[in-house]
Amino acid sequence: MAGIFGIINTLGGCTNLILIDRVGRRKLFLTGLILLSVWLGVFSAASSEYATTGNPRWGKAGVAFVMIFIYTFGSTYAASPYAYAAETKGLTLEEVNLVFGESVEVSMDEISDNNAKLPNVDHLEMEA
């Protein structure tokens, strides 16, 4: 499921990079805020109906609106920081990619260092 979320968010991010120049950041953010609020409301209503009736159609509708929410988030918010950095700092797309790659590498190093510092719990028994 996380892979599907990532793919949908990436597709939304590509849409964001196309729309940000044509529509503008402010309109994109405001539209995103409204749409995300609507999608969360619809998701809440569908989840409530599913909990009340047990009808699987409402459950499927809830999942569908989560996917729509993720796409909308991707297309209105997710990629904007990268475009903003390129616009305000005069960076080329290649330079933005290098900065992003460095930040991911540093983050992954931190994660692996923190995992190395975790205590060894192999000797603990799990209760059934």
Domain boundaries of the chain, sorted by first residue: 1-78, 79-113
Is the CB of residue 86 less than 8 Å from the CB of residue 96? yes
pTM of the predicted protein model = 0.65
**Banded model confidence at residue 14, pLDDT cuts 50, 70, 90:** confident
Give the pLDDT confidence score for residue 23 in this predicted structure. Answer: 85
Helix H or strand E encompassing 113: helix 93-116
- φ, ψ dihedrals at 24, nearest 5°: 105, 150
Of the candidate ranges 30-39, 63-72, 83-92, 99-108, the one whose mean pLDDT is the lowest: 99-108
Q: Helix, strand, coil shares of the chain as percentages rounded to 5?
A: 85, 0, 15
The CA distance from 20 to 83, in Å, is 8
Give the pLDDT confidence score for residue 27 in this predicted structure. Answer: 87
Q: Which amino acid is at 25?
A: R
pLDDT above 90 for 76: no
Of the candidate ranges 3-12, 60-69, 73-82, the one whose mean pLDDT is the lowest: 73-82
Indicate the Cα dihedral angle 8, 10, 15, 19, nearest 10°: 130
